[in-house]
């Protein structure tokens, strides 16, 4: 367990899947967790946090809305007096072959996955700069950031973009004691990812050296580590968590 006692963490897309796993893990480690999402499920996650004996709240946040992101950051700062951890997790991955891709398909994915990371980070960074302390953890993907994936050109571009953003921002914020890192998950068992047929899932598992899908907790434990004092000298890094899939 990481010691995150009293640290205030904002998690985007926290209503289910990896975001929910991150929110619960950070709460278990003592953080005050602000679970945000567009679905309403953020309220259930905040309730789960309370049941664990943790603290925090739920807020609606559409990451594509920069003004809403500013309001969320202000609300969190006004309530708790600091914002220590931001986890940019919200993301969508609608498969579409490139030859069928419309402008809207492309812009929607870039808007949620990449502009969303910019919007929320832009809203939170001024508070972290004033504190001279902060942890920003961006959830990328092995798709785009490490390897190619059929049907995911838009998604891969957005996730490779997150890695570039992470490295450049890490340089700009190091002098303020703020670290910026990214995590590239492989195939993680989440509601959003549960769209493939049994046959497709079996083929994917066969391609993964560890022979199984990852869990939200596998990602959450790396987030907890990057958010902890143990990781204070790590910045601009990309941590791949994929059961060895991308090294085959």
Total H helices, total E strands in the chain: 9, 7
Show the tokens assigned to 239. Answer: 């941590």
Closest approach of ligand NAP to the CB of residue 2, in Å: 20
Count of residues that bind ligand NAP according to CB under 6 A: 31
Identified binder of ligand NAP from the candidate list 8, 17, 25, 123, rule CB under 6 A: 17
Q: Does 56 bind ligand NAP (CB under 6 A)?
A: no
> What are residue 212's phi and psi, to 5 degrees?
-160, 160
Number of Cβ atoms within 10 Å of the Cβ of 175: 9
Among 92, 101, 201, 234, binds ligand NAP (CB under 6 A): 92
Stretch that binds ligand NAP, among 23-31, 66-74, 183-191, 195-203 (CB under 6 A): 183-191
Tokens of 132: 């001279």
Under the binding rule (CB under 6 A), the answer on residue 19 touching ligand NAP is yes
Please report, as residue ranges, which positions from 106 to 135 form the binding site for ligand NAP (by CB under 6 A). Answer: 112, 116
How many C-beta atoms surround the C-beta of residue 101 within 10 A? 14
Q: Does the protein bind ligand NAP through residue 144 (CB under 6 A)?
A: no
Note the maximum CA span of the chain: 51
Phi, psi (deg, nearest 5) at residue 84: -100, -30
| Least gap, CB of 235 to ligand NAP (angstroms) | 21
* 3-state percent helix, strand, coil for the chain, nearest multiple of 5: 50, 15, 35
15/56 with CB nearer ligand NAP:
15
Nearer to ligand NAP, 50 or 65 (CB): 65
Whether 93 sits among the annotated catalytic residues: the reply is no
Which residue in the list 107, 127, 155, 176 is annotated as catalytic? 155
User: Binding to ligand NAP by residue 12, rule CB under 6 A?
Assistant: yes
Q: C-alpha angle with apex 154: 148 to 156, nearest 5 degrees?
A: 35
Instruction: Report the nearest approach of ligand NAP to the CB of residue 241 (Å).
Output: 9
38 interacts with ligand NAP by CB under 6 A:
yes
Q: Applying CB under 6 A, does 141 fall inside the site for ligand NAP?
A: yes
CB 89 within 8 A of CB 139: yes
CA distances from 99 to 103, 109, 152, 154 (A): 11, 16, 11, 12
Active site residues: 155
**Residues making contact with ligand NAP (CB under 6 A):** 12-13, 15-19, 37-39, 41, 61-64, 89-93, 112, 116, 139, 141, 185, 187-188, 190-193
């Amino acid at each position: 367990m990481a010691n995150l006692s009293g640290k205030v963490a904002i998690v985007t897309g926290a209503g289910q899947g990896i975001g929910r796993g991150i929110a619960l893990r950070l709460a278990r480690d003592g953080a005050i967790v602000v679970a945000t999402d567009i679905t309403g499920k953020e309220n259930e996650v905040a309730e789960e946090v309370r049941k664990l004996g943790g603290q925090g709240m739920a807020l609606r946040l559409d990451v594509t809305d920069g003004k809403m992101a500013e309001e969320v950051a202000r609300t969190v700062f006004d309530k708790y007096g600091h914002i220590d951890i931001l986890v940019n997790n919200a993301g969508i991955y609608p498969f579409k072959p490139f030859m069928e891709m419309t402008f809207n398909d492309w812009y929607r994915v870039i808007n949620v996955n990449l502009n969303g990371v910019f919007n929320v980070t832009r809203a939170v960074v001024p508070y972290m700069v004033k504190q001279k302390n902060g942890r920003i953890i961006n959830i990328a993907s092995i798709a785009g950031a490490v390897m190619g994936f059929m049907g995911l050109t838009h998604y891969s571009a957005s996730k490779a973009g997150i890695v570039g953003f992470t490295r450049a921002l890490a340089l700009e914020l190091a002098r303020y004691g703020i670290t910026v890192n990214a995590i590239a998950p492989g195939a993680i068992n989440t509601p959003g990812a549960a769209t493939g047929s049994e046959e497709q899932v079996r083929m994917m598992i066969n391609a993964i050296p560890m022979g199984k899908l990852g869990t939200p907790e596998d990602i959450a434990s790396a987030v907890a580590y990057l958010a902890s004092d143990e990781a204070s000298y790590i910045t601009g890094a990309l941590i791949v968590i994929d059961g060895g899939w991308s090294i085959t």
